[in-house]
Chains A and B, each alone.
Chain A
Amino acid sequence: MKLPKARRWFASLTMLLILLLTATGCTEKMIVLNPKGPIAEQQRDLMLTSLLLTCIVIVPVLILFAIIVWRYRDRKGRTSKYTPNWEHSTKLEVIWWGIPIIIITILAVITVKYTYALEPSKPLASEEKPLTIQVTSLDWKWLFQYPEQGIATINYIQIPEDVPIRFEITADSPMNSFWIPQLGGQMYAMSGMAMTLHLQADEQGDFWGSGANFTGKDFAKMYFDVKSTSKEAFNTWVNDVKASSPALTLDGYKKLVEPAASDVRTFSAFPEGLFEMTVTKYASSHNHGLSWKDIQKIDKQE
């Protein structure tokens, strides 16, 4: 009679938990599990696959644990066996060296495959030409430059849907990490290096991103909005910015670098080669993350 009662308890508890999660809107708020782009989607699938695989071992072990503790507890009149000297069984030990090895092998194969497939510097397969956005982490704000459009923004990104975005990421501040959870995983922003991260939004919508690595006092104010729109709306926005915003000058940039948080701002233009200058200004003696090609390109420009 004990088991059905326990099962009823378990069922009602599970129901309660699910109810709580949905009622509070938790499942929707888990934006990492609610992706809006191909990278975030594959990462979500990978999370769920690995969760499932590990659960194959872990759920039975948890159940086994509960059964063993219940059955072999010391009490009066118990009938279960007691074998105080039983300490070895090659068969059993082979089984539990074996099971984790198998599961981990499967998981390892998947992981390696996806590590190469989702390598952030790899361009996304798409017929559209990728849009480049150059990201600079400053104390405590993000500067985004659109080299092809010639505009720049602070703490705000607008992107066209279904177009791969190539983020080039650096920092003119302590190390940060650039993260837009609904589009895909993060990438560190480090001075003296330009890291590449390819992301894409599959639909229109408002998302947000953050600085994920601690950089000091106003680090918690480094959130930024990401707006994905149609291509037309994106072009209109670019033209609006060009028409109505001030230009970012070199002096203006020097002011931006000073430690302070910032509101959203837009600039109709920025000094040419600002991003390259930011990347290379620390790399006086060696080439850090830049490839030889990049360096030559910069040399030619100069």
Chain B
Amino acid sequence: MWERVKTFASEFFVTGDPMIYGADVSIVITMIGIVFGLTYFKKWGWLWREWLTTVDHKKIGIMYILAAFIMLFRGGVDALLMRAQLAAPEMNLLAPDHYNQIFTTHGVIMILFMAMPFMFGLFNVMVPLQIGARDVAYPFLNALSFWLFFSGAMLFNLSFVIGGSPDAGWLAYPPYSGIMHNPGVGQDFYIWGIQISGIGSLMTGINFIVTILKMRAPGMKLMKMPMFPWSVLSSCIAIIFSFPILTATLALLFLDRYAGAHFFTLDGGGNPMMYINLIWMWGHPEVYIIVLPAFGIFSEIVSTFAKKKLFGYKSMVYAMMIISILSFLVWAHHFFTMGSGADVNAFFALTTMLIAIPTGVKVFNWLFTMFRGKITFETPMLWTMGFIPCFIVGGLTGVLLSVAPADFQFHNSYFLVAHFHQVIIGGVVFGYFAGLYYWWPKLFGFKLNERIGKWAFWFWNIGFYLCFMPQYALGLMGMTRRVVTYGWDKGWWEMNLVSTIGAGLMGIAFLFQVWQIVYSVKHLQKDETGDPWNGRTLEWSIPSPAPVYNFATLPHVTSQDEWWEEKQRRLQGHSAPAPAKIEPIHMPKNSGIPIVMSMFWFFTGFGFIFDWLWLAIPGLVGVAACMLVHSFNYDTDYYIPVEEIKRTESAIRGVTS
């Protein structure tokens, strides 16, 4: 009996690597610490009521961002390990198997479990406030989206200590990801982790489209909406069309692996190329899904810190919508070298180049928003300033890659690696950081320390260029991606060393950011104004942090920069509009079903990964039961009475309204 337990454990847990034992220990200690802390301070009830069951979009947004930061740390450690391994030729820091797992988890985590939740976090905290709404259209669904994402992310990360991580690259091309070449459970962790969180992403897409279309404040015509909700809308349209493709593709891959189907296998009539087409039909829109909201954030920030109206509002809107549509017509540029023939390659090269046009227009519009403005350089603007040149250069190399016949030389090389990191870090990461710094005061009621923030910014930027510029050169030197090591004879070591130093600087930059948050909490300087940046849009018209109902009375919107115009009117001596009569506010009730249902999904996924039907089937039954319970629950909303709203308002504003 004891022997059987031992064999089981040695297969079930990942063993043999000191780094993983270290992780095991730290995970266990953290868990014990959290449980002990919550019990000691009697916080279980608080945690359950205020956070785990919340349907408040602001709290869900904060949880998304917190999770994204933790995942940024994990993905960043992966990146640093890779760069350490590549710092010099013939390094033996990581074994090939381990290296393969690390670049796979780095890619998956950074895109799906860092960028996506960071983006959803920003959607959640800001879209309702910017459009003058009290919550999203479907608050329950919103909570469910978050907990599904969380379950998926936990399931995926569990593979680090249980069963083994996936090692087939972030898009898991078959046949290598098939059961024949990849018999372990790592690939199943990949499938189920992404699958479960993917359902959440799809639902968030639907939720925000409805929110933006149906819940804008009175008077806010679509063309008077701030630019960030526009970017969210264009991004969500891409989500609802592309995520079903991902779900279907991974489901087919799962059937191949689990049930011996032959969709993507070599034999039995399967075709791996079909997978590669399908996964990129999702994968390419995905990168635009994450970058479009960043464009929206930059538009808000440029206009605020240049103290000037956004230039070319309509152009911006059309450009984003065009990008959203074009993103579905370019997928085959990821495999020009797969022998599709000149007709196909020419078509996809052209559609790819077309995207450069609306993107270029957006850059011009940002520049001319700053033209004849009064620019100040607080941290959000600083990130925007870092973004513009970085993204321009990344766009240039993107156009180079789109030239199909030349791509035969760039493909799979470090030139490509440098390109996509430049647009994703320079565009997406810088964008979300800018957004986080910009909206932080609205979320928490205090600003982050500017001085440490500037240190973080410069470390990030210098580190970025040191890390990725040499990689363009490495690509031209013939270095291909995903190699675990290389010889002295290739002459790649200088550039690799520089690149590793750059990665280290970005690691330090992250520490600065953590320190910045800790420092700012310790030396708390409350922002009493609710409008610390002299903002332009509705979110700055209410106190920070926003009360649970956001707006005591719904604003009436007459122009694009409603709050800015209102402030101008007041400066000109007009009195503030008489406050409307406060009425009871209709709000959604908290619910424990999202977290419970997501836990059942977690068990379902885990059961299928290990082929334990005794766990998977009860998991699915639990999911169905949760749906039933929720369907027959009619006690889902309540009204906040006028008295309570008045009390809250006078407490936070210091006046009775």
Contacts and interface: CB of A to CB of B under 8 A. Distances in A.
Interface stretch (A82-90, A149-157, A233-241, A291-299): A82-90
Contact of B403 (A61, A82, A111, A284): A111
Nearest to A95: B364
A65 B360 CA distance: 13
A216 B176 contact: yes
A54 B400 contact: yes
A65 B409 contact: no
B306 A72 contact: yes
Given A87-B311, A181-B409, A97 B361 contact: yes
A54 B399 contact: yes
Given A50-B403, A92-B368, A217-B96, A82 B373 contact: yes
Interface in A33-78: 33, 40, 42-44, 46-47, 50-51, 54-55, 57-58, 61-62, 64-65, 68-69, 72-74
Contacts of B310: 87
9 contacts: A61-B363, A115-B349, A118-B405, A185-B406, A188-B335, A192-B266, A208-B478, A220-B96, A284-B267
B388 A65 contact: yes
Given A68-B367, A100-B356, A215-B176, A26 B473 contact: yes
Interface string A196-222: 000000000000101111111111100
B176 A212 contact: no
A43 B405 contact: yes
B159 interface: no
A220 B372 contact: no
B396 A58 contact: yes
B477 A285 contact: no
Contacts of A112: 346, 349-350
B476 A31 contact: yes
A104 B405 contact: no
A137 to B, nearest CB: 12
Contacts, number: 261
A31 B482 contact: no
Nearest to A139: B181
B408 interface: yes
A111 B473 contact: no
A248 interface: no
- Give 8 closest A-B pairs by Cβ, nearest first: A185-B408, A174-B176, A96-B364, A87-B309, A212-B412, A30-B476, A285-B269, A220-B483
Contacts of B306: 72
Contacts of A104: 353-354, 356-357
A245 interface: no
A118 to B, nearest CB: 4
Nearest to B483: A220
Given A88-B312, A115-B349, A175-B272, A214 B482 contact: yes
Interface string B372-392: 111111000000010011001
A186 B335 CA distance: 11
B486 interface: yes
A80 B307 CA distance: 14
Contacts of A258: none
Interface stretch (B221-229, B337-345, B455-463, B506-514): B337-345
B405 A87 contact: no
B360 A31 contact: no
A120 interface: yes
Contact of B477 (A30, A119, A284): A30
Contacts of A73: 375-377
A184 B408 CA distance: 8
Nearest to B338: A188
B411 interface: yes
A81 interface: yes
B91 to A, nearest CB: 11
Contacts of B491: 25, 29
B618 to A, nearest CB: 36
Contact of A43 (B97, B339, B342, B409): B409
Nearest to B357: A100
Given A46-B406, A118-B405, A62 B389 contact: yes
B268 interface: yes
Given A24-B494, A121-B339, A65 B354 contact: no
Nearest to B269: A285
A93 interface: yes
B484 interface: yes
B393 A84 contact: no
B361 A100 contact: yes
Interface string A239-275: 0000000000000000000000000000000000000
Given A68-B370, A97-B361, A220 B406 contact: no
Contacts of A124: none
B400 A72 contact: no
Nearest to A289: B339
B481 interface: yes
Given A31-B477, A72-B370, A217-B96, A46 B266 contact: no
B173 interface: yes
Contacts of A47: 400, 403, 406, 409
A108 interface: yes
Interface of A: 24-26, 29-33, 40, 42-44, 46-47, 50-51, 54-55, 57-58, 61-62, 64-65, 68-69, 72-74, 80-88, 92-93, 96-97, 99-101, 104, 107-108, 110-112, 114-121, 174-175, 177, 179, 181, 184-188, 190-193, 195, 208, 210-220, 223, 282, 284-286, 288-289
B337 A58 contact: no
Contacts of B525: none
A117 to B, nearest CB: 8
Nearest to B308: A84
A112 B404 CA distance: 8
Interface in B246-274: 266-269, 271-273
Contacts of B545: none
A289 B266 CA distance: 13
Given A30-B476, A50-B406, A88 B361 contact: no
Given A107-B353, A108-B349, A185-B407, 7 more contacts: A58-B392, A65-B389, A69-B385, A81-B372, A115-B342, A220-B96, A284-B268
B588 interface: no
Nearest to B399: A54
Given A93-B312, A104-B356, A120 B482 contact: no
B54 interface: no
A172 to B, nearest CB: 10
Contacts of A187: 337, 339, 408
Given A84-B309, A93-B312, A116 B354 contact: no
B413 A115 contact: no
B12 interface: no
Given A111-B349, A184-B408, A212-B413, A74 B473 contact: no
A74 B313 contact: no
A24 B474 CA distance: 13
Nearest to B341: A119
B100 interface: yes
Contact of A185 (B337, B353, B372, B388): B337
B356 A210 contact: no
Contacts of B385: 69
Contacts of B377: 73
Contacts of B392: 58, 61-62, 65
Contacts of B481: 214
A86 B309 contact: yes
A87 B477 contact: no
A218 B96 contact: yes
Contacts of A191: 175, 266
Given A33-B476, A191-B175, A215-B176, A100 B360 contact: yes
B169 interface: yes
